[in-house]
Structure 1
Amino acid sequence: MDKLVEIFALQAGAAEMMIRGTTMYWVLYALLRISGRRDMGSLGMADMLVLVLVADAAGNAMSGDSYSLGDGVIVVATIVGWSYLLDRLGYYIPPLRRVLEPQRVCLVKSGRILASGLKREHITRSELMEQLRLKGVASLAEVDRAYLEATGEFSVIRSPRGIGEGPSTLEEDEPSG
């Protein structure tokens, strides 16, 4: 029984562990928010952040500098608490959601590539064409709108116009300049 108490005894203290968890959550959240979203895939940024931080906090509690499971539990609870709070605040306060989550970016409009959208997200024409091909698009004329969504996924709204009237998505040449 003494060994069990020793395992859960706090080594660093609850306040310190909450401050550490809060600091790491916000530092990583800010870094991920400004670093872009192309590689996020289908996980939302906050989801990925929570998974990484929870795994790291739990790992440190089991084998890192802290041998206390109690310290790890406090850090994990702090991280999950921030995630829960931000999800709720973003739902009830839409302007806050616009600050916390990236907005979708239009990359193709009416069959024409929007260079400003590609530049904003650092996406090459080749990468855009690859994503369109993965969505089954053979020609830009098939695309009414294509977006890079907040999650990092590409979405395509097909045009009711004809198929194959515009440049092929098989073209790999980057425009010069």
Structure 2
Amino acid sequence: MLDADFWGQAESLSVSQMAIRGAVIFWVGYLLLRIGGWKIFGKKSALDYVIIIVIGSVLSKIIIGDAAFFPATAACLTMVLFHRLISRLCARFNWLSHLLEGKPIPLYGDGQIYWKNLRASSISYQEFMQSLRLEMNTENLQTIESAMLESSGRISFIPKQNN
């Protein structure tokens, strides 16, 4: 099915051959996603971003003919399986998860902003307040119990409980 006449070669791809490559790689990408699990697009940890960028790059090279189909697909499958293995190990071993994905960083608690942690995380006060407005629909820090910079890069807010 993937002979040179049907599949084409990088220097002389026709529109139809490029379309065929695009359709085939769409399904290869979909299968890789199913093998890797939806987590790759869920949490968006550093590991997730690496796999998304690298696999996207390799698959695009197959479409334009800069990479051979079977070796490049095998490389993508290997990366997906490796990502899945690392994800499972991180789920089992907290220390590994903290090492590879990071720990949440407290940004606010006990009624005060932790300025040292904001600076260390390269988050400005304006960015912090913007996240508060977007996530909690308020500018009032008095309604917030705590705020954490998650390993995904998002700021999470825990509202105070009304007693």
Following TM superposition, by how much is the alpha carbon of 1:70 offset from its aligned partner in structure 2, in angstroms? 0.7
Q: Secondary structure at the match of 2:138?
A: coil
Equivalent residue number for residue 58 of structure 2: 57
CA drift at 1:108: 0.7
1:136 maps to: 137
Cα separation, 2, equivalents of 1:80 and 1:42: 16
TM-score by length of 1: 0.64
Q: Residues 42 and 152 of structure 1 are in contact (CA less than 8 Å); yes or no, is this contact kept in structure 2? A: no
- Structure 2 residue identity aligned to 1:125: Y
Structure 1 contact 105–117 (Cα < 8 Å) conserved:
yes
Could you say which residue in structure 2 is the equivalent of 1:32?
none
After the TM superposition, which segments of 4 or more aligned residues of structure 1 sit over 4 Å from their partners? none
Higher alpha-carbon deviation: 153-162 or 57-66: 153-162
Question: Given the two structures, how large is their TM-score scaled by the length of structure 2?
Answer: 0.69
Q: Give the drift of 1:161.
A: 6.5
C-alpha displacement at 1:96, in angstroms?
A: 1.1
CA separation of 1:150 and 1:63: change in aligned 2, threshold 3 A: same
User: Deviation per CA, 1:57-94, whole angstroms, max 9, x where unpaired?
Assistant: 1111232532x201211110121022011011112222
Could you tell me which runs of 5 or more consecutive residues in structure 1 were left unpaired when the two chains were aligned.
Answer: 8-40, 163-177
Q: Give the total of aligned pairs.
A: 128
Amino acid paired to 1:154: I
**SS of residue paired to 1:61:** helix
RMSD of aligned C-alpha atoms? 2.6
Equivalent residue for 1:76? 76
Contact 1:144 1:159 in 2 (8 A): yes
**Which residue identity is paired with 1:137?**
T
Identity %: 24
Larger relative contact order (C-alpha < 8 A, sep ≥ 6)? 1
